[in-house]
Amino acid sequence: MSCRPAIIDNWLAACGEKPSILASVALIALGSNLESEHGSPVEAVKSAFASLQELSNKPVLYSSIISSQPLECPPGSPDFANAVLLLIPREGETARSLLACLHQIEAQFGRKRSGLVNEPRVLDLDLIAFGQQTSSDKNLLLPHPRAARREFVLQPLCELWPQYSFPDGSGTAQILLNRLRAA
C-alpha cells in the first residue's frame, strides 16, 4: 500500500511520470499581502501560479490559497494569502538557477527589497526544497530553514503531499504540522 496520497498519484499520472521523479520535485511557498497591478494578494498568488508554470518541465501542482496572519512582520502588516506549489524542474535547472528565477518573478510582480525583514510584499516566493538536496550556503539554504515552523507552508503542503519528508530528516509535512499545532 502506498503512503503517498491520491493527489500526488494523480499528478504523476497526469505528468506521465513514475514515483521516482518525486525525488527531484521543487517545493515553492508563495505569499502576498499587498495589492498590486495583479489585484488582491489572492489574485497575485493565482497569477504567480501561471508564471511558475514556465519554470516547470510538466504541469505544476498547487494547493488552495489560505489566509494567514503575519508572522514576525512589522506591526500593522496585512494578512497574507499563501499557497504551496510543486514543480518538476526544467532540464538542467539547478536549485541556484531556480532561486534566481523566483527572484526575477518577484521583481516582475513589483517586489522591492528594502532590506527590512519580513516586510509586507506583493509577492514572496520561497524555495522550500529542491529534490533531496541540502545546502547551508547563506544564499541558498535547503531545505528552507523556517519551513518546519510555518503553518502557512505546512498546511498547504499537507493538502498536496502530507507524507513529504524534508531532506534534513526533520520529519514529514504532516508530523511537523501536528507538532506545530500541538505546541
Lookup result for grid cell 530553514: 145
Q: Is 113 a catalytic residue?
A: no
Asked if 126 is an active-site residue, the reply is yes
Instruction: State residue 15's pLDDT score.
Output: 85
> Is position 137 annotated as part of the catalytic site?
no
CA torsion 42-150-105-35 (nearest 10°) is 30
Burial status of residue 75 (CB atoms within 10 A of its CB: 0-12, 13-18, 19 or more): exposed
Which one of the listed residues 4, 96, 126, 146 is annotated catalytic? 126
Q: Is 121 annotated in the active site?
A: yes
Domains observed in the chain: 6-145 (3.30.70.560)
Hey, is 173 helix, strand or coil?
A: helix
- Mean pLDDT per 10-residue interval, the chain, length 183 residues: 60 83 91 94 97 94 94 84 96 95 95 72 95 92 92 96 89 94 91
Instruction: State the Cα–Cα distance between residues 6 and 123, nearest whole angstrom.
Output: 30
